[in-house]
Structure 1
């Protein structure tokens, strides 16, 4: 539900009745992760997706039925070789969905509306709903905010709400979306209950250093991928908002000084942050990279030729960086796409960031035999406002020059 929060929050403000189907769990090869959502309003308008097209029609009908009845529903979709024309995932996987009606007269409408507004505004929040268990028919919900406060009810009693709020806060702290098993009497006591917890975080940050034409193209690519992009350069004549319309902000400052200052503000760089150094100048690059490579960031890449890279490594060693810290540097930046133009180079950088984030190899799919959609754990990284924590590329996929 929170994946399409901006659109659904607008529907709430307009007074629309709608139902939303949210992926609860996936097994095998499936194109969308837990948290993916499809919504249908009373007029039949649809938005979002739960499967990339395989079962959208059947889920659409489930939404219409839930909206008409005013009660939540669940659905399971898989693939059967015995009946290839049955509704299912042709990729061979299976998924479960929770369908929640959000009607104007529904008791959970105000709470769900508040959760959607939080996510739409980029605030830290988690939404918990019952998938199975004694309280499932109540259609309740809990909203847990970034400060730990909780509001709403699942409809199963105070102890269930207390335990659910603690579990949701734990998943939110990890920036994860997934299911939780507990008991309706609190803790593990009582009848089994399965909760779906959706986490929403502020957009991840992409810090682009160097106000060059490559930075303008990369800002567009980063924004397209859902990053909040900052372009920073010490040269005021180049660092202007007009040159970087896709960036959320353009800052005139020395790169290392700007990075240091971010840890005193509300939008601290974290394990989702990508740092891209495009300056080609040791007096900017070395102090910046000496800091960035010692921080728990998702990605640190630097542009330059192999000769520039070798010289940069020498300077960083002289600055005291260890071999393990230097091994985190993606340089020359980007995947080997044969890129020439700023736009192509931005694509190669963005592709490397995605591959690192999702554990991809960076190799052509025709040259690999692993599943196109690797198995997703029960608790997975949230999709709408969260890009997760990095995982290393396999050794054979170490990037070459862009």
Structure 2
């Protein structure tokens, strides 16, 4: 069986796009609904820069997957005439083939690609080709992608989409799988692919230190809209930070309350408390953790605080004494971060961001090899191996409590391991 199949849908005669409310029922069938990732927003910005220069771009979007695929529906990449590219739709299994296809399209269609429609390509996992470089479905799965032009003719509303996202509002686009045209809303009879573009999730970091600088840089690169708040205005120096980071001089609790009342905090927001003074930290945590203050679905997905185990215990005790319900206190991630063992500011920042991502994406925060190992030897076998490692001294002393947790749970561990951030 061929590893990939291509279908070219001849573009229909030019027609106008009519904007309708996104809640209206569509006459056209919707194949799939893709939701954008942080990476996709970076691809969209890459496309927008070329769009503004009047350069032609070919975009590729995953429209369907079967079995296993490392990239979800809606994943994007893009190519231009200068052989530049951005994004990815697999782990490297099909990108080379897509690159060659894109360059052939550019060679065959000079100008702004006005005469081409939408090309559908399917990569299958069960290829019989002897060519080791032949494209195959990613990681044993099958993926279907759409390749389509992005130009002012094909997507006149792209600037509106970009400005909407920059304003922190979500948007929805429909890709016409017949014509290759894209619009914020479409009401035609052709099949369409719907993509939702979410605004960037926010990370609000309270307190200035070297950890703050490192965390802000990492989080920005991951696609977070980062705000750094500290009551000491002298410490808020733009020269210390790279990227588009908002700096706010205000009391932490007052700023968070203002943002909550303004509707700028939601269930994707991460609150990171790096404050070294509990006179500021405790009021902030009361504001962030008290579920009685938040409307349904708006409470931050993550609230964590820096500090040693002893200081973290004292925080929880004081929060309880101030009337915070025990269930709300239980949502505090303190000491903050996964246990990576590092003590440098960049190491701690990485451990914090790793925990934020794990909790935001419902990950375990544990090595993936744990599951693979357990699958191969079973819980009983895993426990036997860990007992041997513990008794022989192979496992480091500072890790023994983690191993004992494994043994106690029969090889199963849940929850997030946090580093003990001593101060």
For the aligned pair, the TM-score class normalised by the smaller chain equals 0.7 to 0.9
Question: What is the CA distance between 1:97 and its match in structure 2?
Answer: 0.7
Q: 1:209–1:231: 8 Å Cα contact kept in structure 2?
A: yes
**Aligned runs of 1:11-50 on 2, under 5 Å?**
11-50=50-89
Secondary structure of the residue that 1:214 maps to in structure 2?
helix
TM-score (norm 1): 0.74
Q: Does 1:396 align with 2:392?
A: no
Matched pairs, number: 328
Runs of 4+ in structure 1 displaced over 6 angstroms?
Answer: none
Q: 2:220–2:243: 8 Å Cα contact kept in structure 1?
A: yes
Question: What is the CA distance between 1:348 and its match in structure 2?
Answer: 0.4
Query: Partners of 1:121 and 1:15 in 2: how far apart?
Result: 24
**Aligned runs of 1:300-315 on 2, under 5 Å?**
300-315=303-318
Q: 1:24–1:97: 8 Å Cα contact kept in structure 2?
A: yes
Alpha carbons of 1:197 and 1:370: their partners in 2 closer, same or farther (altered >3 Å)? farther
**Aligned runs of 1:211-230 on 2, under 5 Å?**
211-230=208-227
Query: Partners of 1:343 and 1:303 in 2: how far apart?
Result: 14
Question: What is the CA distance between 1:398 and its match in structure 2?
Answer: 2.2
Structure 1: 5+ residue runs without aligned partners? 145-152, 157-183, 185-192, 372-393
Q: In structure 2, which of residues 285, 288, 311 is the aligned counterpart of residue 292 of structure 1?
A: 288
Query: Is the radius of gyration larger for structure 1 or structure 2?
Result: 2
Secondary structure of the residue that 2:120 maps to in structure 1?
strand
Query: Partners of 1:330 and 1:197 in 2: how far apart?
Result: 36
Residue 251 of structure 2 is matched in structure 1 by 254
Query: Partners of 1:306 and 1:66 in 2: how far apart?
Result: 60
Secondary structure of the residue that 1:196 maps to in structure 2?
strand
Query: Partners of 1:271 and 1:327 in 2: how far apart?
Result: 17
Q: 1:23–1:50: 8 Å Cα contact kept in structure 2?
A: yes
Question: What is the CA distance between 1:370 and its match in structure 2?
Answer: 9.2
Residue 157 of structure 2 is matched in structure 1 by 111
Residue 319 of structure 1 is matched in structure 2 by 322
Q: Does 1:355 align with 2:358?
A: yes
Which digits, 9 at most, give the CA deviation of each residue in 1:283-325, with x for residues without a partner? 1111111111134111110011111111111111112222221
Residue 267 of structure 2 is matched in structure 1 by 271
Residue 184 of structure 2 is matched in structure 1 by 143
Query: Partners of 1:3 and 1:245 in 2: how far apart?
Result: 17
**Aligned runs of 1:197-212 on 2, under 5 Å?**
197-212=194-209
Query: Partners of 2:75 and 2:51 in 1: how far apart?
Result: 19
Residue 54 of structure 1 is matched in structure 2 by 93
Which digits, 9 at most, give the CA deviation of each residue in 1:130-176, with x for residues without a partner? 34xxxx2x3333315xxxxxxxx4543xxxxxxxxxxxxxxxxxxxx
Q: 2:48–2:158: 8 Å Cα contact kept in structure 1?
A: no
Alpha carbons of 1:98 and 1:127: their partners in 2 closer, same or farther (altered >3 Å)? same
Secondary structure of the residue that 1:397 maps to in structure 2?
coil
TM-score (norm 2): 0.70
Alpha carbons of 1:314 and 1:99: their partners in 2 closer, same or farther (altered >3 Å)? same
Alpha carbons of 1:401 and 1:112: their partners in 2 closer, same or farther (altered >3 Å)? closer
Question: What is the CA distance between 1:280 and its match in structure 2?
Answer: 2.9
Structure 2: 5+ residue runs without aligned partners? 1-39, 110-114, 375-411
Query: Partners of 1:370 and 1:116 in 2: how far apart?
Result: 45
Residue 32 of structure 2 is matched in structure 1 by none
Alpha carbons of 1:234 and 1:59: their partners in 2 closer, same or farther (altered >3 Å)? same
Question: What is the CA distance between 1:197 and its match in structure 2?
Answer: 1.6
Query: Partners of 1:370 and 1:80 in 2: how far apart?
Result: 27
Q: Does 1:75 align with 2:124?
A: no
Question: Cα RMSD over matched residues?
Answer: 2.7
Moved more, 108-117 or 280-289: 108-117
Q: In structure 1, which of residues 283, 303, 308 is the aligned counterpart of residue 279 of structure 2?
A: 283
Query: Partners of 1:99 and 1:212 in 2: how far apart?
Result: 46
Q: Does 1:4 align with 2:34?
A: no
Alpha carbons of 1:211 and 1:199: their partners in 2 closer, same or farther (altered >3 Å)? same
**Aligned runs of 1:322-341 on 2, under 5 Å?**
322-341=325-344
Q: In structure 1, which of residues 114, 126, 137 is the aligned counterpart of residue 172 of structure 2?
A: 126
Query: Partners of 1:63 and 1:120 in 2: how far apart?
Result: 29
Query: Partners of 2:249 and 2:200 in 1: how far apart?
Result: 22
Query: Partners of 2:172 and 2:227 in 1: how far apart?
Result: 27
Alpha carbons of 1:197 and 1:325: their partners in 2 closer, same or farther (altered >3 Å)? same
